[in-house]
Amino acid sequence: MKTAILTVGTEILFGQIVNTNAAYLSEQLNHLGYDVMYHYTVGDNPGRLHDLIELAFRDCDLILTTGGLGPTQDDLTKEVICETMGDHLVVNDDCLAELKAYAARRNRVLTENNYKQANMPSRAIVLPNDAGTAPGFALERDGKWIISMPGPPREMTNMFRKQVKPLLQKWQDSVIYYRQIRTFGLGESLMETKLLPLIDGQTDPTLATYAKEGECSLRIASKRPTKEEAKAAVDEMTEKVKAIIGESIYSYDNEELVDVVGRILKEKNITISCAESCTGGLFAGALTDVPGISAVFERGIVTYTNRAKMEELGVSAATLDAYGAVSEETAAEMAEGLAKKTGSDLCVSVTGVAGPDPSEGKPVGLIYIGLTYKGKTRVTQVQRHNSSRKWNRNYAVLTMLHEIYQEIK
Amino acid sequence: MKTAILTVGTEILFGQIVNTNAAYLSEQLNHLGYDVMYHYTVGDNPGRLHDLIELAFRDCDLILTTGGLGPTQDDLTKEVICETMGDHLVVNDDCLAELKAYAARRNRVLTENNYKQANMPSRAIVLPNDAGTAPGFALERDGKWIISMPGPPREMTNMFRKQVKPLLQKWQDSVIYYRQIRTFGLGESLMETKLLPLIDGQTDPTLATYAKEGECSLRIASKRPTKEEAKAAVDEMTEKVKAIIGESIYSYDNEELVDVVGRILKEKNITISCAESCTGGLFAGALTDVPGISAVFERGIVTYTNRAKMEELGVSAATLDAYGAVSEETAAEMAEGLAKKTGSDLCVSVTGVAGPDPSEGKPVGLIYIGLTYKGKTRVTQVQRHNSSRKWNRNYAVLTMLHEIYQEIK
């Protein structure tokens, strides 16, 4: 079914928030076999919102909206949709009771403007919101549907999962199966050039590359009458791709690198600690985002000063004097010192110049990563060009993860 | 000038990447006094891309596009725009030379598909790309303009700053001045209710609230013939707002809480260290994102295990036995132990249950934050409800920052 995602909110047009809702819904809809044709964003403006709904219905049979269901005066999505779909608002007793119960549970007083959230289009399927005060709804006109959800991502995703997804599963007509393959260290042009014999003239499965900083992904997708047929086509193509770029692939299942590394560490019961300088805790923060990692993650030390590097990790003053804090030698001593201190199976260290300014006469983007595993230490050097502080730090974390992956895969 | 932002890329409709470009451009355009009316996203499809351009030109005089300028087969934004604007492509010698020079600098070989990036509409103003291989361009038809930029955010923002912004500044007709006020600990409904006397019937300056998890912002905007007039109107309204909700405001200048805290620490030369359990390094990672923080940030310790809490911070076994790792007592001993070890002026600690599962019989979302400053230690308790692991961790970091802010402001 052809679908449009319509996000309502002046704050998005002002650039105050990033539209993560559209990305989440797109991914979910694609999984369910719906074709997302457009994303639209419009402000809290009745005329333009009405026009975009009519426009979307020219091509699409389904519109998912997020935003504009809140209690404030500029929230008018419900009112506009109701009118556009030829319906009128009535007080919904269930919604009103829920709203009062929600406020009571949290010891909050309902303000006057909260009450309008209990009004609903008379023909709507009401979608309860157990994570906030704004219920959603589904409303039909001439066989076309609008499903309207609140804007805050936590409320929206919760409502989608519990209320909307089951509805969409009932309506579905064909099945897309896809696999997202992830690589590290391979540019997009090079990947496409290598895969050109597979991409050229291919209609199903389709292959599409896309690049993120430091990573490049490949999506293999097939749309068939049944899931089994689509999956078989994707599996067959996957084997062909593997034969060409298998060396660079770290996930056949769209896993983040940090999740792959976390999973292997847990499976093999390899304990890990880390010592960070330029990344300042981002590596530990990323790794501890993996649920259950506490079984193997022991300790992280952020040694931002030379004193901390000496006291915490036993890096020698002589090394810091001779080579500086950003050096192969310091990275090695950081990893080795951490291994001695913690006894963890694998110890990783990082020291570098994140920027914006050079340090110790060394250029921005120079990064050393140390890794001690099974009594051996090795150091990897990276030099980023024209890259921001933020991206130097993020790329350092990615490279640390990839070095660990190479070691334990 | 009424403006639309048009993002091209199937990967966005698949939900593989989040559309951060639209947010960045919206913010920049608003600063320059341009009215962003719409965001559109469409796949790499010539017909639909053409139709959306024509649609946007019905309301708008300017379209900014990102994406689809890459070297691969499905990148066809330039070709479609060129045709829609009644122009044709020619090889641009400057672009070709730049492309070759770029590849030479990085020791890369140009693949066949790279060469099409040197083609340009014959009437275009070419916008060089010194961060990648795809140049952008500006193209006019009947007084309406399209400005087309590459999709990767690093290339796009670089091109916008250096090439597009100067163009837009020349074209500008009126001035928006705005101020973004940021608060912590105040819900959106409550903020609007308190400010209703100022919001009601207000046309300029306008006031708009918006909520993020844990924070709520207020935007005061004025559009006047000159910047001075707009600023004066915003300043006057700011004073009225301050009189009502001043206690909850931490920035009058849209600063992130972490930047405010980092700035004050640096200004007052207060040295800081942190000890993290449930946040696993995220606090240190956030704070060290502030350039120059190395002047005051000394050390971070991620003590994920009880052993690490004892060895690194001197938390007593008796305390861990009697109260558990997630307790007021442990949070206090973590902060005090860290202060003793590092001698930093301010030491902050955190221990909590991030989830997804309860721990030590304690509920998900329970967080204790310890703070030792000037010889005194205090602990703050937070209980989050129905919140994810990710958000419990992020909220813990925000609360740590806010506790520090309260102490040092």
pLDDT exceeding 70 applies to what percent of chain B?
A: 99
Give the best-scoring range by mean pLDDT among A181-185, A216-220, A341-345, B48-52.
Answer: A341-345
The mean pLDDT of A169-176, rounded to a whole number, is 77
Q: Is A327 on the interface with B (CB under 8 A)?
A: no
To the nearest whole percent, how much of chain B has pLDDT over 90?
Answer: 70
Per-residue confidence (pLDDT) for residue A173, from 0 to 100: 67
pLDDT in tens, A27-64: 999 888 899 999 999 998 899 999 999 989 998 999 99
Weakest mean pLDDT among A13-17, A277-281, A377-381, B106-110:
B106-110
Check CB contact under 8 Å for B308 and A299: yes
Task: Give the closest of A10, A27, A42 to B15, CB-based.
Answer: A27
Contact A113 B152 (CB under 8 A): no
Concatenated DSSP letters of A225-261 = SSHHHHHHHHHHHHHHHHHHHGGGEEESS---HHHHH
**Chain B interface includes A37 (CB < 8 A):** yes
The residue that leads in pLDDT, B297 or B108, is B297
Please report which confidence band the pLDDT of residue A253 belongs to, taking 50, 70 and 90 as the band edges: very high
Average pLDDT score, chain B? 92
- Interchain contact A388–B (C-beta under 8 A): yes
| Mean per-residue pLDDT, B272-277 | 98
Across the interface, whether the CB atoms of B298 and A307 are under 8 A apart is answered yes
Residue B143 has pLDDT above 70, yes or no: yes
Does A383 contact B at CB distance below 8 Å? no
Query: Would you call B284 and A289 a contact, using CB atoms and an 8 Å cutoff?
Result: no
* Burial (Cβ within 10 Å: 0-12, 13-18, ≥19) of residue B107: exposed
Predicted confidence at residue A44, as pLDDT, reads: 85
> Is pLDDT above 90 for B216?
no
B206 confidence band (pLDDT: 50, 70, 90): confident
Q: A170-179, A297-306, B290-299, B339-348: lowest mean pLDDT where? A: A170-179
- From chain B, the residues in CB contact with A12 under 8 A are 22-23, 26, 39
Does B356 sit behind a cis peptide bond, omega within 30 degrees of 0 on the bond before it?
A: yes
Which of A67-81, A209-223, A267-281 has maximum average pLDDT? A267-281
pLDDT over 90 (residue A203): no
ipTM: 0.71
pLDDT of B72 over the 90 cut? no
**Which of A35, A309, A297 shows the shortest CA–CA distance to A174?**
A35
Terminal Cα-to-Cα distance of chain A (whole angstroms): 41
B328 alpha-carbon distance from chain centroid: 33
User: How many Cβ atoms are within 10 Å of A106's Cβ, its own excluded?
Assistant: 9
Say whether pTM exceeds 0.80.
Answer: no
Q: What are the strands, taking DSSP E only, across A10-160?
A: 35-42, 62-66, 89-91, 119-121, 125-127, 136-141, 144-149
- The answer to whether the Cβ–Cβ distance between A16 and B297 falls below 8 Å is no
pLDDT in the model for residue A218: 92
- Residue B67: which pLDDT band, with cuts at 50, 70 and 90? very high
What is the pLDDT averaged over residues B349-362?
A: 94
A39/B39 touch (CB, cutoff 8 Å), yes or no? yes
* Neighboring chain B residues of A355 at a CB cutoff of 8 Å: 291
Q: Side chain identity at A238, as an amino acid letter?
A: T
CB-based contact (8 Å) between A219 and chain B? yes
Lowest mean pLDDT among A110-119, A305-314, B27-36: A110-119
pLDDT on residue B383: 93
Asked whether the predicted pLDDT for residue B342 surpasses 90, the reply is yes
- Partner-chain residue, chosen from B18, B20, B302, that has the shortest CB–CB distance to A300: B302
The pLDDT, as a whole number, for residue A235 is 97
- Counting residues of chain A whose pLDDT is more than 70, the rounded percentage is 99
Q: Which of the two residues, A353 and B175, has the higher pLDDT score?
A: A353
* pLDDT (average), residues B100-123: 85
Q: Express each pLDDT in A131-167 by its tens digit.
A: 888 899 999 998 899 999 999 999 999 999 999 999 9
- Rounding to the nearest 10 degrees, give the CA dihedral for residues A104, A107, A108, A110: 30
d(CA A396, CA A352): 9
Q: What does the angle CA B401 – CA B404 – CA B409 come to, to the nearest 5 degrees?
A: 115
Taking 70 as the threshold, does the pLDDT of residue B336 lie above it?
yes
Residue A116 has pLDDT above 80, yes or no: yes
* pLDDT at residue number B173: 67
What is the residue whose two structure tokens read 């880390």? A274
Interface residue A22 vs chain B (CB under 8 A): yes
